[in-house]
Amino acid sequence: MNCRAKAVALIALAVISLASPTLEMTLTGRVEMFSTYGLLETAVSLVVLFWWYHLDKADHSYQAGKLMNSGVLLLAVIALPIYFVRSRGWKRGGRAIVLAALFLGATLLLSELGERLGAVITSR
């Protein structure tokens, strides 16, 4: 149902992971986790992740409580695996956790690539 919108959210997360460190490295010459750029990247990523989560809840007809919703915002690395199992069951939830971990790894690689790309752009 919301597959296209969920794909857009995931693509947006990937683009943010690449673009933010590229921009920061290009403009400042370094990338720092708690810089203004890093904090802005985190905030924007959380908004996009929460959007994806709400679309996914609708797809799975899952009624989340306030604790789960706030958990996804505050501790996504803990709350999302719980959500995946509760909304899909153990087998499909386990697959979703593995896919989410692979996606997280891909975004970390994109961040590293973005930092290196920014270094290449600045050295010209």
| Each residue's pLDDT tens digit, 39-87 | 999 999 999 999 999 999 999 999 999 999 999 999 999 999 999 999 9
Dist. CA 79–CA 92, nearest whole Å: 16
The percent of residues above 70 in pLDDT, for the chain, comes to 98
pTM of the model: 0.91
The SS3 assignment for 60 reads coil
68 contact partners, CB below 8 Å, separation of at least 6? 79, 82, 83, 86
- Give 33's pLDDT tier (boundaries 50, 70, 90): confident
Dist. CA 106–CA 27, nearest whole Å: 24
Which class for 8: exposed (0-12), middle (13-18), buried (19 or more C-beta within 10 A)?
A: middle
